[in-house]
Amino acid sequence: MSGTTGQERNPGTARVGLVGYGGAGRGIHARLAREAGLVVTAVVARNPERRAAAEEDWPGVRLHEDLAGLLGDHAAYDVVVVASPSALHAEHAAQVAAAGVPFVLDKPIALDGAQAADVVATAAAAGTPFTVFQNRRWDPEQLTLRSVLASGELGRVHTFERRWERWRPVPQQRWKENDPVGGGLLLDLGPHLVDSATQLFGPVRSVYAELRALTTPTEDDVFLTLHHAPSDGHEVVSRLWAASVVGAPGPRTRVLGDAGAYVVTTFENDASPFEVFDDAAPDGTEGWVTRGRDRHPVPRAPGGHADFYRAVAEWLDGGPVPVDPADAVRTAHVLDVARESARSGRRLDV
């Protein structure tokens, strides 16, 4: 696949048109793109401070007031990255798809499963390729866990647990906390949690969920139980948490098998009482394999989030898509069932 700007570029490099230059656009996408060797050459931002930040970060960047202006400036970039608020993702994806520009769409790709399927169908009808920013597939803990599972050291796995818990009793004043349509932890962190589980243990057969709003207008306390489709008669159950009012976060990840367990105690330097567990960990450790009181450290697998954008550059040069958008549609349907389960109080089929 190649870009649609009409200009040749050096293989392995890519120029990015970035929609949004806030916490996600600047703090995540632009940072990872730079680390991967990509260059942000055009930005959509209205806020004067964000426009100034873009000019400081990327000298010579072309600034646009809206997406239409960016799409009218095709020669400035090779790929568009949509990092706008979640409620705008489907609308912005349709506009970029109609313009025929390859794009990266941040998660969630839409607010529900039907809308997510429409996003994929619209892009397919326009013949516009896109991928989804599921950067957590490149988390060191996820990569390390894959290697542990492949080793067979845990035996037959029966339970996967992952917690994305924070001690944040005073909510941040952002749309993610306050937008009743596109905000909330189910849409913010749920796509990562469900994607991680399904990438490891396969499709989801049924869901039980509990959702609460403790300090924000949208849910800030999420619990999901996923029953994965059996493989060779064996079923894995995933239990997933996302919460903001947790004074004792963790353990981050716990995977239980009939021959042992894999435990990651803390995550991205979030404070946790479990961090003392790692005091004796050698450098380069990513979690522990444990059996009762016995434990041994697991070497961290190589890789990181910037590898997503390295994969994007390869994709633009004809390589495989980094994340199949169909995966994001399946995840959106799981989250839809989770909402209905929380309303009904019942475990529901997907």
Mark whether 171 and 280 lie in a shared domain: yes
Compute CA distances 11 → 2, 4, 18, 19, 41, whole Å. Answer: 10, 15, 20, 24, 17
List of residues 6+ apart from 73 with CB closer than 8 A: 17, 42, 62, 64
Give the pairing type, strands 237-243 and 15-19: unpaired
Q: Are residues 150 and 184 in the same domain?
A: yes
206 assigned to some structural domain = yes
Position 51 in a domain: yes
Residue 5 covered by a domain:
no
Which CATH number goes with the domain that contains 88?
A: 3.40.50.720
pLDDT value of residue 5: 39
Smallest CA-to-CA distance from 104 within 40, 190, 54, 53 is with 40
Side-chain-side CA neighbours of 117 within 13 Å: the count stands at: 6
Domain match, 161 and 115 both? no
> Is residue 324 domain-resident?
no
Task: Show the CA angle centred on residue 210, arms to residues 207 and 212, nearest 5°.
Answer: 150
pLDDT at 178: 86
Rg of the chain (C-alpha set): 21
State the alpha helices, DSSP H only, in 202-253: none
pLDDT of res. 3: 40
Whether 270 is covered by a domain: the verdict is: yes
CATH number of the domain bearing residue 150: 3.30.360.10
pLDDT score at 252: 95
Same domain for 211 and 92? no
- Total length of the chain: 350
Same domain, 127 and 147: no
Helices (H) and strands (E) in the chain, counts: 11, 15
In this prediction the pTM is 0.94
How many structural domains is the chain composed of? 2
pLDDT of residue 228: 98
| Model pLDDT, residue 240 | 98
pLDDT along the chain (350 residues), means of 10: 45 86 96 98 97 98 98 96 96 98 98 98 98 97 98 98 94 86 94 98 98 96 97 93 93 97 88 84 94 96 97 97 98 98 98
pLDDT (0 to 100) of residue 340: 98
Same domain, 215 and 132: no
> Considering only CA atoms, which of 249, 188, 256, 254 is closest in space to residue 216?
188
83 located within any domain = yes
CA dihedral defined by 67, 77, 135, 225, rounded to 10 degrees? Answer: 30
Give the residue numbers spanning the domain of 100.
Answer: 15-136+307-319
Token pair of 342 as six digits:
């929380």
Do residue 128 and residue 241 come from a single domain? no
